[in-house]
């Protein structure tokens, strides 16, 4: 008879343990996702920094200017 009394309690304890494990797993996943997002941002900023340092961005700006189109006079001013 006593086993019947403790059986619901043991089921509740198992449910609570499973819930706690699920919460811990969710926290771990959220931590991993946040870490990957921050790492991606840092690596992206580092890549932009390296490109700027190597002059890649300056070359892109030079190529994008109106002067490479061979414009002169009014056409050059209009594109500026």
CA distances from 50 to 40, 43, 58 (A): 15, 10, 12
Q: How confident is the model at residue 1 (pLDDT cuts 50, 70, 90)?
A: very low
Domain range annotation of the chain: 2-79
pLDDT of 4 above 70: no
pTM: predicted TM-score of the whole model, two decimal places: 0.52
Angle between helices 2-54 and 56-64 (to 10 degrees): 60
Any idea which residue has 């946040």 for tokens?
34
Q: What is the pLDDT of residue 38?
A: 97
d(CA 21, CA 5): 26
Per-residue confidence band for 51, with pLDDT thresholds at 50, 70 and 90 = very high
Report pLDDT for 7.
Answer: 62
Q: Determine which helix (DSSP H) or strand (DSSP E) holds 37, and give its type and residue range.
A: helix 2-54
If you average pLDDT over residues 10-19, what whole number do you get? 71
């Amino acid at each position: 008879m006593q086993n019947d009394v403790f059986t619901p309690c043991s089921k509740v304890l198992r449910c609570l343990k499973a819930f706690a494990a699920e919460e811990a797993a969710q926290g771990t996943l959220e931590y991993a996702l946040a870490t990957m997002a921050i790492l991606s941002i840092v690596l992206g900023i580092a890549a932009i920094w390296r490109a700027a340092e190597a002059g890649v961005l300056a070359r892109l700006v030079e190529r994008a200017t109106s002067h490479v189109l061979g414009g002169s006079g009014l056409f050059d001013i209009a594109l500026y």
